[in-house]
Amino acid sequence: MSLDIRAATRHDLESIVEIYRYSVEHGTATYELTPPDFAEMERRFEALNAQNYPYLVAEEDGVILGYAYAGPFRPRPAYRWSVEDSIYLSPQAQGKGVGYKLLVKLIEAAQALGFRQMVAIIGGASEASIAVHAKAGFEHSGVMKATGYKHGKWLDTTIMQLALGEGQDTDPDLETYPGNLYRD
């Protein structure tokens, strides 16, 4: 069967929680040290959905292989046209192109919503994540040295960025903007 990239639903949360738990415990993509419980992951999921940010899953034969979402880059209003992407994969999906396919769909969704920049904050300077983002057109914006300490070692954080739509070439419509984060 083929890989289906679709909007995540509440029914996907158990798989999402398990994928993230594994990432927290074994990886460096996130600097969280203790996996959040189901209720906390549900709260995070609902907060992003309520603010109209894209949240996707990759599913094959009824199995969730990974998920990706875009969320606010920073909480200040001037950042409202910028999003930060996050991608997490189950161990069996790594190295099979699932992350790239999720990222491409996430970029399309964020761009359709009117966002102008997507920022990747890559924990542990993961070579695989850097390669996936570069393949999708992201450019290096910098490296923050030794910003995380996990699994007994200091970790660098790589920053990459991709212009969406018209990027910085035109001013945004100051009366409308993507998401609901800054609406009264």
DSSP for 94-150 reads: TTTTHHHHHHHHHHHHHHHTT--EEEEEEETT-HHHHHHHHHTT-EEEEEEEEEEEE
Q: Please compute, for residue 98, the number of CA atoms within 13 A of its CA located in the half-sphere on the CB side.
A: 26
| pLDDT tier for residue 32 given thresholds of 50, 70 and 90 | very high
pTM: 0.93
Residue 133 within any structural domain of the chain? yes
Supply the pLDDT for residue 183: 47
Taking residues 5-10, what's their average pLDDT?
98
pLDDT at 181 over 60: no
Residue 90 within any structural domain of the chain? yes
CB under 8 Å to 114, separation ≥6 — which residues?
81, 165, 172, 176, 177, 178
Q: Is 42 exposed, middle or buried (0-12, 13-18, 19+ CB in 10 A)?
A: middle
CA–CA separation, 142 and 26 (whole Å): 25
What is the overall mean pLDDT for the chain? Answer: 93
Supply the pLDDT for residue 178: 66
Percent of all residues in the chain with a pLDDT value above 90, rounded to a whole number? 84
Residue 42 within any structural domain of the chain? yes
Supply the pLDDT for residue 184: 39
Supply the pLDDT for residue 76: 87
Residue 183 within any structural domain of the chain? no
Supply the pLDDT for residue 179: 58
- Residue range(s) defining the domain that contains residue 104: 4-163
CB 159 within 8 A of CB 151: no
pLDDT at 1 over 90: no
Residue 44 within any structural domain of the chain? yes
Count of C-beta atoms within a 10 Å radius of residue 53:
23
Place of tokens 């990759």: 58
Q: How many domains does the chain have?
A: 1
Residue 41 within any structural domain of the chain? yes
CATH code of the domain in which 44 resides: 3.40.630.30
pLDDT at 55 over 90: yes
Residue 122 within any structural domain of the chain? yes
Q: Could you report the per-residue pLDDT of 94-117, keeping only the tens digit for each?
A: 999 999 999 999 999 999 999 999
Residue 173 within any structural domain of the chain? no
Residues in the chain: 184
